[in-house]
Amino acid sequence: MSTNRHRVNYRRKLARPLILRDGNTLITLRDAANILLYAFGSTDTRSGTLDHASRQLLAAAESGKGADIAAATDEIETLLRGRQLL
């Protein structure tokens, strides 16, 4: 039985680097996923905004399409600005 599963690759680069206030730079989808866990892991992880960002990250990691990566980058940037991490 064959499946049409996409290979998830969080090593893909974001559409642009995101520089955090502390000087750290997010370059890959993995970096973005890690900061989401760090910044939002202890809060309500069922929030619609966080769920949407997580879905965007997964779509980008699966497809590797520039549009998906750009959408994920934008969503992560918005979340981090809201938390005043950027």
State pLDDT tens for residues 5-16. 668 899 999 999
| Residue 4: inside a domain | no
77 assigned to some structural domain: yes
Decide if 36 is inside a domain. Answer: yes
- The mean per-residue pLDDT over the stretch 3-31 comes to 90
Give this prediction's pTM.
Answer: 0.79
pLDDT computed for residue 50 by the predictor: 81
- Give the mean model confidence (pLDDT) for residues 21-28: 96
Question: pLDDT of 44-86, one tens digit each?
Answer: 555 567 888 889 999 999 999 999 999 999 999 998 898 888 8
Tell me how many degrees the CA angle 62-60-33 measures, rounded to the nearest 5: 100
In a domain, 2, yes or no: no
- Fill in the DSSP letter of residue 7: P
Please state the domain count of the chain: 1
pLDDT of 62 reads 94
Closest CA to 8 of 68, 52, 49: 68
Is pLDDT above 70 for 22? yes
Domain extent for 65 = 13-82
- 3 assigned to some structural domain: no
